[in-house]
Amino acid sequence: MDLAFVLYPKLTALDLIGPYEVLAHQRDVTVRFVAATLDPVTADAGLIITPTATFDEVDRADVIVVPGSGAWPEPLADGAVARWLRKVHPTATWTTSVCTGSTLLAQAGILDGRPATTHWAVREELAQLGAVVSTDRVVRAGNVLTGAGVSAGIDMALTLVGLIWGDDRARFTQLLIEYAPEPPYDSGTPDTAPASVLAMMRAELGT
């Protein structure tokens, strides 16, 4: 099974690495990191990742994973990811995204009229791009899976493992990565964060 993880400047590393750690340990998978060029890509917090193939070299994949970006909406301006997605999505078994990566799927026309989720701060923008926005952490619409903000990429990938390899394999993978979150704070959503923290975040994001 061919897995294509999409790279582009200023992507959010955990959006990529979370699903990678879940999916790359499955049996009989081949992983490619696909980007516009083979030049190293710098994530939004400075991590440098090296592509293994270019968009021109990859015209199909069984599973596509599109991360989001802390520099959103900057990745939309280039359009390179959306152009590639229009080419490869029609023959993919699964097309997935994490966080604001769903806006790149929407830009490619993949989410027109379909339910999808994204980071809470860009739900309105995702709706404007044609998606039917959900507040769920993981949303399936046919062969498209979208995950909410950043850490939801792990949930999305575990969901995908269950769909492809079965629930027991997904449970096995969850145990392998010891994914049993017990955060020290309850501020993971706008509904649970204190008003002062939410206001601080909105000021930081300019929303």
In a domain, 203, yes or no: no
Which residues, in sequence order, are CB contacts of 87 under 8 Å at separation 6+? Answer: 59
In a domain, 204, yes or no: no
Strands (E), the chain: 2-6, 30-35, 41-42, 48-49, 53-54, 63-66, 94-98, 115-116, 132-133, 138-141, 144-147
CA distances from 55 to 15, 29, 159 (A): 19, 19, 26
In a domain, 32, yes or no: yes
Helices (H) and strands (E) in the chain, counts: 8, 11
Each residue's pLDDT, cut to its tens digit, for the chain (207 residues) gives: 999 999 999 999 999 999 999 999 999 999 999 999 999 999 999 999 999 999 999 999 999 999 999 999 999 998 999 999 999 999 999 999 999 999 999 999 999 999 999 999 999 999 999 999 999 999 999 999 999 999 999 999 999 999 999 999 999 999 999 999 999 999 999 999 999 998 998 998 887
What does the pLDDT read at residue 205? Answer: 86
In a domain, 33, yes or no: yes
Q: What global pTM score does this model have?
A: 0.96
What does the pLDDT read at residue 204? Answer: 87
What does the pLDDT read at residue 118? Answer: 98
Residue 101 CA, chain-centre distance (Å), reads: 5
Task: Report the alpha-carbon distance of residue 156 to residue 158 in Å, rounded.
Answer: 6
In a domain, 116, yes or no: yes
SS (H, E, C) 55-92: CCCCCCCCEEEECCECCCCHHHHHCHHHHHHHHHHHHC
Which residues, in sequence order, are CB contacts of 12 under 8 Å at separation 6+? Answer: 43, 44, 45, 67, 68, 69, 70, 98, 99, 150
Among the listed residues 99, 111, 126, 154, the single catalytic one is: 99
Structural domain that includes position 115: 2-181
What does the pLDDT read at residue 206? Answer: 80
In a domain, 197, yes or no: no
Active site residue 14: no
Alpha-carbon Rg for the chain, nearest whole angstrom, is 16
Tell me how many domains the chain contains: 1
What does the pLDDT read at residue 127? Answer: 98
CATH number for position 14: 3.40.50.880
In a domain, 187, yes or no: no
